[in-house]
Chains A and B, each alone.
Chain A
Amino acid sequence: MISVQEQDFNQQVEYERLRCQSSIGAIVTFTGLVRDINDGHTVSDLSLEHYPGMTEKCLVDIVEKAKVRWNIIASTVIHRVGHLTINDQIVFVGIASQHRGDAFAACEFIMDYLKTEAPFWKKETMEGGETKWVDARESDQKTLSKWAL
């Protein structure tokens, strides 16, 4: 299941949705949150823009790439857009597999690719009301090299 949405999500509901088959032996989930400090400045709010249509295609494509490499019985990727505040949930990736190794690897792979390929952009509002578009991190791009075949 892939969803780009404004509304919040519920971990337990998503977990239960993944726990759907008797062959599943492992579920790994990741949740990304809005952090209060980024690059040394205090953040009060975040707004997330995306490219409707391309975003969904891109997330489907990333999950498909993961399915080629690992056993994935069920998967969920949820990414929120719009206005978010400190500690809000931004992103959820959940992978159900036969074994934990596949679930851990696929979950991390999907997050790493999502961070560098999916067309989302964060704009922070800092304390005092000033706004700033978040710059992409070179380290995120470098992280991808570990998945090279």
Chain B
Amino acid sequence: MITVLFFAKLSEQLGVRSLQVEWRQAQDTDQLFQYLTEYKAEWAVTLTSQPCLKAVNQAMVNNNIALKEGDEVAFFPPVTGG
């Protein structure tokens, strides 16, 4: 399984903080993102209408990368700390 986490505004809008996705549905980050846009009717708009960053195993990733069983993938808005 792949553990998917959402943070901040994105998690609020999707109404979920985490979910599990079978690895065969998400063999790389692009495939996972595509899967998520089809997960619920309104998710496509929420996920594609705003900047959305991603991290794999707690490291920021810009491009599409391969996933393996047990990976943790997080999606979140641009950060605003400090």
Please give the residue numbers on chain A whose beta carbons come within 8 Å of chain B beta carbons, in ascending order.
Answer: 32, 48-51, 53-54, 57-58, 79, 90-91, 111, 114-123, 133-136
B9: nearest chain-A partner, CB-CB: A133
Of the candidates B9, B51, B74, B78, the one whose C-beta lies within 8 Å of that of A51 is B74
Contact A49 B8 (CB under 8 A): yes
Contacting residues, chain A, for B80 (C-beta < 8 A): 115, 120-122, 133-136
Q: Is the CB of A57 within 8 A of B82?
A: no
CB contacts under 8 Å to A, within B18-71, are: 51, 55, 58-60
Q: How far is the CA of A48 from the CA of B80 in the complex (A)?
A: 9
Q: Which of A50, A111, A118, A119 has the most CB of B within 10 A?
A: A119
Total inter-chain residue pairs, C-beta < 8 Å: 72
Contact residues in B for A134 (Cβ distance below 8 Å): 80
**B66, chain A: closest CB distance, angstroms:** 20
Residue of B nearest to A135 (CB): B80
The SS class assigned to the A binding surface is mixed
Q: Is the CB of A121 within 8 A of B82?
A: no
Is the Cβ of A120 less than 8 Å from the Cβ of B82? yes
Task: Report chain A residues within 8 Å CB of B78.
Answer: 135-136
Residue of B nearest to A81 (CB): B81
By the criterion CB–CB under 8 Å, are B58 and A121 in contact?
A: no
Q: Is the CB of A119 within 8 A of B79?
A: yes
The residue that B82 contacts in the complex, of A51, A54, A90, with Cβ under 8 A, is A90
Bound state CA distance, A118 and B55, in angstroms? Answer: 11
Which B residues are in CB contact (< 8 Å) with A122?
A: 80-81
In the bound complex, residues from chain A placing their C-beta under 8 Å from that of B12 are 133
Could you list some 6 contacts between A and B, CB below 8 A? A32-B82, A54-B74, A91-B81, A115-B80, A118-B81, A120-B79
Is the beta-carbon distance between A136 and B8 smaller than 8 angstroms?
no
Within the complex, the shortest CB–CB distance from B9 to chain A, in Å, comes to 4
